[in-house]
């Protein structure tokens, strides 16, 4: 992922504010209850999902590339006296002293992995850390042609949140540009404060449904379920998400 103005993007309090959602948490709690612990979350951020799972008494480890986001995660977990193992690391190359019943990558984070070679390295390390009957869950968003075909000069509203430092409301807007040949969606996010504007640039790899199916099969995973939403409804072409639940083939 390419970013500009990293202090804002990786500020734990701001990250908590703009990623605040709970729609996926019951889904992941259900999967942990179904497949058991220990659990590994790759790209755990500030523990938005990790911490609610730990509250249920499950053994969970959170791995993230950002020291600042992990600082915030640890701070929140310590306030609740939760025993969570936090690891600063890169999902593209990790080696832990433990195998897991469930490994998951939420919040479309896998789409920050831009090359097939890097994705396959993620998959290989995941397999090395899965128990024999373990499961792997990954989210991709289902490509929206309206977004991919936008005019790159048009600015669109994303969301608004309260500044955690008391500076009023922060409005996030975005411009997008789709590089069709490489299936890369380039985004400019603008954090509009009352007195300034901060830019974050990043890129997301687009995965169409048939590609998702094939990349798991090619990398020796067997897909058991493919959901279109967190209510476990079956995936259709009109679904907003592609949520894959798989095991080692």
211-224 pLDDT, tens per residue?
Answer: 999 999 999 999 99
The verdict on 92 and 186 lying in the same domain is no
**According to the model, what pLDDT value does residue 4 have?**
39
How many separate helices (H) and strands (E) can be counted in the chain? 8, 11
Examine the pLDDT at 30 and tell me if it is beyond 90: yes
The verdict on 11 and 101 lying in the same domain is yes
Examine the pLDDT at 17 and tell me if it is beyond 80: no
**According to the model, what pLDDT value does residue 103 have?**
99
Q: Which residue has the tokens 């790209």?
A: 43
Question: 228 to each of 107, 238, 241, 243, how far by Cα in Å?
Answer: 14, 8, 5, 6
The verdict on 31 and 13 lying in the same domain is yes
Model confidence at 22, pLDDT cuts 50, 70, 90, reads confident
The pTM for the full model equals 0.92
The verdict on 13 and 83 lying in the same domain is yes
**According to the model, what pLDDT value does residue 1 have?**
38
**According to the model, what pLDDT value does residue 100 have?**
99
DSSP of 132-153, one letter per residue?
Answer: EEEEEEEEEEPP-HHHHTS-TT
Percent of the chain with pLDDT over 70: 93
110: which DSSP letter? Answer: G
Examine the pLDDT at 56 and tell me if it is beyond 50: yes
**According to the model, what pLDDT value does residue 163 have?**
85
**Domain count of the fold of the chain:** 2
The verdict on 63 and 93 lying in the same domain is yes
The verdict on 170 and 85 lying in the same domain is no
Burial of 158 (0-12, 13-18, 19+ CB in 10 A): middle
The verdict on 113 and 36 lying in the same domain is yes
Structural domain boundaries enclosing 179: 145-205
pLDDT digit string, tens, across residues 142-153: 999 999 999 999
| Cα 47 from Cα 49, distance rounded (Å) | 5
pLDDT digit string, tens, across residues 145-189: 999 999 999 999 998 988 887 878 999 999 999 999 999 999 999
Candidates 29, 44, 218, 38; CA nearest to 117 is 218
The verdict on 94 and 192 lying in the same domain is no
Examine the pLDDT at 11 and tell me if it is beyond 80: no
**According to the model, what pLDDT value does residue 6 have?**
42
Rounded to the nearest integer, the mean pLDDT of the chain is 93
The CATH number assigned to the domain holding 136 equals 3.40.50.150
**According to the model, what pLDDT value does residue 220 have?**
98
Residue range 19-40: average pLDDT?
94
Model confidence at 13, pLDDT cuts 50, 70, 90, reads confident
The dihedral built from the CA positions of residue 16, 19, 22 and 26, taken in this order, carries a sign that is: negative
In a domain, 153, yes or no: yes
Strands 241-248, 221-227: pairing kind: antiparallel
The verdict on 86 and 26 lying in the same domain is yes
In a domain, 1, yes or no: no
Q: Taking the CA of residue 90 as centre, how many other CA atoms within 13 Å lie in the half-sphere pointing to its CB?
A: 8
The verdict on 27 and 101 lying in the same domain is yes
The verdict on 109 and 186 lying in the same domain is no
The verdict on 32 and 13 lying in the same domain is yes
Examine the pLDDT at 28 and tell me if it is beyond 50: yes
């Amino acid at each position: 992922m390419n970013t500009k103005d990293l202090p804002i993007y990786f500020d734990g309090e701001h990250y908590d504010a703009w990623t605040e959602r709970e729609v996926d948490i019951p889904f992941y709690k259900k999967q942990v209850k179904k497949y058991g612990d220990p659990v590994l979350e790759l790209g755990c951020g500030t523990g938005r999902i990790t911490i609610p799972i730990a509250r249920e008494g499950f053994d969970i480890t959170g791995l993230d590339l950002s020291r600042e986001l992990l600082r915030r995660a640890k701070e929140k977990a310590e306030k609740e006296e939760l025993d969570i193992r936090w690891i600063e690391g890169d999902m593209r190359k990790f080696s832990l002293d433990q195998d897991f019943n469930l490994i998951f990558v939420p919040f479309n984070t896998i789409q920050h992995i831009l090359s097939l070679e890097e994705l396959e390295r993620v998959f290989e390390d995941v397999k090395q850390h899965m128990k024999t009957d373990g499961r792997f869950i990954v989210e991709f968003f289902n490509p929206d042609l309206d977004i991919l075909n936008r005019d790159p000069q048009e600015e669109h509203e994303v969301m608004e949140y309260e500044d955690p430092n008391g500076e009023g409301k922060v409005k996030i807007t975005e411009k997008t540009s789709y590089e069709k040949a490489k299936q890369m969606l380039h985004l400019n996010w603008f954090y509009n404060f009352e007195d300034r504007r901060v830019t974050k640039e990043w890129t997301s790899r687009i995965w169409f449904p048939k590609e998702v199916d094939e990349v798991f099969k090619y990398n020796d995973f067997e897909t058991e379920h493919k959901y279109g939403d967190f209510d476990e409804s079956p995936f259709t072409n009109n679904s907003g998400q592609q949520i894959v639940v798989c095991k080692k083939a």
